[in-house]
Amino acid sequence: MPRNLFRCWIRVRGVTLPLFSLAFNLSKNLPTKMTGTDQSSFLGRISIRRNQVNAMEGYHEQEIEDLELFQKQLSDRFAELLSAPDDAPTEAFLSISWIRKLVDVFLCCETECKAILLMERDAAQISKPPLDRLIPELLERVVKAMDICNAVTNGLELVRHCQKLAEIAVSALEQKPFGEGQARRAKKALVSLMSAMHVDDKESSVQKTAERSWSFGRRSGNKDRHHGHYRSLSWQVAKHWSASKQIHAMTMNLAAPRGPEASCLPAPVYILSLIIVFVMWVLIAAIPCQERSGLTTHLPINKHVNWTHSLASIHDKIGEEWKKKEKKGMAGLLYEMQKMEKLGQSLIEFTDSYQFPGEKEKLDEVAAQVAELAEVCRRMDEGLVPLQMLIREAFHRLVRNRTEFLDVLEQGGPVV
């Protein structure tokens, strides 16, 4: 079996590195400890194994073992994600830091899947059926995922806008003594926050609001213009683009391999596909983006294999939440946004009826809420930009992933 030397090299963050340094680089760059060490040893193992058994019998058994190890790691990672508390000041389920962890898991998984699929492998194997169909399908999903990354990046801008408005409210509410002027200031910011949050992601309304200009008559009751600019065209990925339709298209033909295929190359292709779809689905559910109505709550997860248990539980949990909240029209399931919405609502009520100097008891209660809101703002301030960067990195990774697969396909002869 001809083995090309180049496949001992692998591209990491845009740089081509020999394998032995890959392990080091990955563990250095990975933001979460949870995955770093595991991964480097895993990749090292594959490469050593592949080098040792190249000429030997029993190659297939080794591959099965690699795959099992990989699935075990996936299972552990998703179990850890599932174990996040529902409501906690930090690291809560669907919080910014949780989503960062999820994207990290995706990045690790992507590297490992690619290692299993491409490292030391003869290109001809990749271009044989059924892979000649599965890989192009995977690449279509990859392209769709790139657009979703961009949509989510736009959505995070809206979240940051909410953060800014909440910060104004916090700084007004923290004033001592707290007068009616500050109450009005806080209310104004909170009302803007609420309408920014309940931005309708449907295209029709995007167009409608885009047409609405800033030229308003004074006092024309146009109280929500404060966030008008976030409803403009910049919000869009493309005309008629729909996040939920993309997810739907990505789940087409996504079926777990059965029988003997389940233990060979179709398996990692399925795993990678499923994880891409799953992660994109979570991002769309959590972060506002263009046209999410009708977002499916069903993903074709094969529940008969061990590693998907935690993933399926996470999926069910988020799906339930989505069903509950979807009809209300909302900014997404992001923990911080949910928290912000609740606190904002309650603080609007407070500012509505506030009369100077207010009752001590009520003021203390509000002070606690304000502190909570300030904490949410702080977490957003810390986490949103890194999350945006991480999603950008995922985007670049998908681009590179596609190029690498295309290169191999090209080598393997005429496919597609």
Partner 1 sequence: MDECQSAIPAHDGDLHVVAAAHHIVKALGTTKNLSDDLRKILIDLDAHLSLITSNIDSKGGKGFVEVEERLKRVERKIVIWESDRIMIWDSGPKEASDYLEAVDEVQTLIDSLRGLSMNENQKQKELLHRASSLLQMAMSRLEEELIHMLVKHKQQSEPTYIPSPSSQRNVVYNESVVSLDNESAKEASSKNSCSDECGEYIVDLVPEHVIPDIKSIAKVMFASDYGQEFCEAFIGVRKEALEQHFDILENGKLSIEDLLKMEWCSLSTEMNKWTWSMKIIFGVYLMSEKRLCDQVLGEFGSVNSFCFLEIAKTTILCLLNFGEAIAMGPQEPEKLLRLLDMYETLADLVIDIDALFSEDGGSFVRLEFHKLLEGLADSVKAAFNAFGVAVSSNGSLYPFPGGGVHPLSKYVMNYISMFPEYCSTLNLLLEDQHSDVASLVSEPQCGPTASLSTSCPMACHLRSITSSLESNLHKKSKLYKDEALQHIFLMNNLHYMVQKVKGSELRPFFGDEWIRKHNAKFQQHEMNYERVTWSSVVLLLKDDNPGSSSLSKSTFKEMCKGFSIAFEEVYKNQTSWCIPDPQLREDLRISTSLKVVHAYRTFLGRNPAHVDDKCIKHTVEDVEKLLFGLFEGSPRSLRNSRRMMKT
- Site residues (vs partner 1, CB under 8 A): 14, 143-144, 146-147, 150, 153-154, 157, 164-165, 167-168, 171, 175, 177, 179-182, 184-185, 188-189, 213-215, 217-219, 225-229, 232-234, 236-239, 241, 356-357, 389, 392, 395-396, 399, 402-403
Contact predicate 98/82, CB 8 Å:
no
The SS3 call for residue 11 is strand
Q: Closer to partner 1 by CB, 28 or 219: give it.
A: 219
User: How far apart are alpha carbons 170 and 112 in whole angstroms?
Assistant: 44
Cβ closest to partner 1, residue 72 vs residue 245: 245
Q: How far is the CB of 144 from partner 1 (least distance, A)?
A: 6
Cβ proximity to partner 1: between 204 and 213 the closer is: 213
Q: In this complex, which beta carbon is closest to partner 1, that of residue 85 or of residue 386?
A: 386
Q: Give min distance, CB of 402 to partner 1, in A.
A: 7
* Cα gap 112→272, rounded to integer Å: 9
Q: CA-CA distances (angstroms) from residue 72 to 109, 271, 414?
A: 12, 12, 35
Query: Which runs of consecutive H residues, i.e. helices, occur in 83-119?
Result: 96-118
Choice between 146 and 376, CB closer to partner 1: 146
- Look at residue 270 and give its three-state secondary structure: helix
Shortest CB 181 distance to partner 1, Å? 3
Calpha distance 128→82 (Å, rounded): 37
Residues comprising the chain, all counted: 416
CB of 215 to partner 1, least distance (A): 6
If the CB atoms of residues 126 and 243 are measured against partner 1, the closer one turns out to be: 243
Q: How far is the CB of 414 from partner 1 (least distance, A)?
A: 15
For 11, phi then psi, to 5°, come to: -90, 125
Task: Judge contact between 138 and 273, C-beta under 8 A.
Answer: yes
CB of residue 63 to partner 1, shortest distance in Å: 30
Distance in Å, CB of 184 to partner 1, minimum? 5
Q: What is the CA radius of gyration of the chain?
A: 24
Q: Which of 310, 401 has the CB closer to partner 1?
A: 401
DSSP letter string, 324-384? HHHTT--S-S-HHHHHHHHHHHHHHHHHHH--TT--HHHHHHHHHHHHHHHHHHHHHHHHH
Q: How far is the CB of 193 from partner 1 (least distance, A)?
A: 11
Which is nearer to partner 1, 206 or 301 (by Cβ)? 206
Burial 319-334 (b: 16+ CB within 10 A, else e): bebbeebbeeebbbbb
Judge whether 134 and 307 are in contact, CB under 8 Å.
Answer: no
What is the rounded distance in angstroms from the CA atom of residue 274 to the CA atom of residue 301? Answer: 7
Q: Using CA atoms, how far apart are residues 226 and 274, in angstroms rounded to an integer?
A: 40
Cβ distance to partner 1 smaller for residue 45 or 160: 160
| CB half-sphere exposure, 366, CA atoms < 13 A | 27
Smallest gap from residue 196 Cβ to partner 1 (A) = 11
What's the closest the beta carbon of residue 318 comes to partner 1, in angstroms? 25
Comparing CB distances to partner 1, the nearer of 101 and 187 is 187
Which residue has 């595991």 as its token pair? Answer: 38
